[in-house]
Amino acid sequence: MNIASLPKDFSENCEIFCELILKYNKTHNITGAKDKHAVYENINDSIYPIEFLPMQNIKTAIDIGTGAGFPGLILAMALPNIQFTLFEPIAKKSSFLHLIKTTLKLKNVIVSTKRVEKAQAFEADLICSRAVTNTNMLINLCKKYITPSSLLLFYKGERVDEEVMDLTNFEIFKKDKRNYLLIKDVNVI
């Protein structure tokens, strides 16, 4: 799958999402994106990995620290055949995610108002996170969800090279100032 083959309702759902996030953000301050352009930059950032992700074996996904929905909620809108569990422990952000899930009738989304390490573990084919913590800490936080075939997709900044020094079997995809770190065959103890 690539971005050109997004679901028919994706653009319309993004418009609704944008309207609601800008409205909700005025009183609840859930994201730094304060205008439509900034929201769409975050949407585009969230879905860019669809261009390179090997989608054939992904049935379940988790997003650690989803915040206002980037990237997990947006990926769930783009990939309706994948079951997403969004972990967001901050109540006002979790409430917003529930609002979007209900408004857009997203059947493939579960919102968990828990920290990922405190939740009941299950196997996940895709584990993603954006702007939460460093790579080693992320791997440690989600290790009980990782299987030998799990893919880890971390949206990283410019310090990604420092964070991968101890890793093997990874790729870094770059777009603008973003580094998308894709890790395969993670060994966890």
Asked if residue 132 is part of any domain, the answer here is: yes
Kindly tell me if the per-residue pLDDT of 189 is higher than 70.
Answer: no
Please state, in angstroms and rounded to a whole number, the distance separating the CA atoms of residues 81 and 55.
Answer: 10
Neighbours of 132 (CB within 10 A): 17
Residue 3's pLDDT is: 64
Kindly tell me if the per-residue pLDDT of 55 is higher than 90.
Answer: no
User: Model's pTM, two decimal places?
Assistant: 0.94
Q: Is 185 left (phi over 0), alpha (psi -120 to 50) or beta?
A: left
Asked if residue 189 is part of any domain, the answer here is: no
Respond yes or no on whether the N-terminal peptide bond of residue 148 is cis (omega within 30° of 0): no
Considering the chain, what is the average pLDDT of its residues? 92
Asked if residue 79 is part of any domain, the answer here is: yes
What backbone torsions phi and psi does residue 54 show, to the nearest 5 degrees?
A: -80, 100
Q: What is the pLDDT of residues 147-179, one digit of tens each?
A: 999 999 999 988 888 888 888 889 999 998 899
Residue 137's pLDDT is: 87
136 or 48: which carries more pLDDT confidence?
A: 48
Asked if residue 35 is part of any domain, the answer here is: yes
Kindly tell me if the per-residue pLDDT of 22 is higher than 80.
Answer: yes
Kindly tell me if the per-residue pLDDT of 52 is higher than 60.
Answer: yes
Share of residues in the chain with pLDDT > 70 (%): 96
Q: Could you tell me the two tokens for 124?
A: 């996940």
pLDDT band at 181 (very low <50, low <70, confident <90, very high): very high
Kindly tell me if the per-residue pLDDT of 132 is higher than 80.
Answer: no
Total count of domains within the chain: 1
Asked if residue 1 is part of any domain, the answer here is: no
Asked if residue 138 is part of any domain, the answer here is: yes
- Estimate to the nearest angstrom the gap between the alpha carbon of 94 and the chain centroid: 14
Asked if residue 169 is part of any domain, the answer here is: yes
In the chain, which ranges are E strands? Answer: 60-64, 83-87, 109-112, 126-130, 151-156, 170-175, 178-184
For residue 177, what are the domain limits? 8-184
Kindly tell me if the per-residue pLDDT of 131 is higher than 90.
Answer: no
What CATH number does residue 35 fall under? 3.40.50.150
Asked if residue 58 is part of any domain, the answer here is: yes
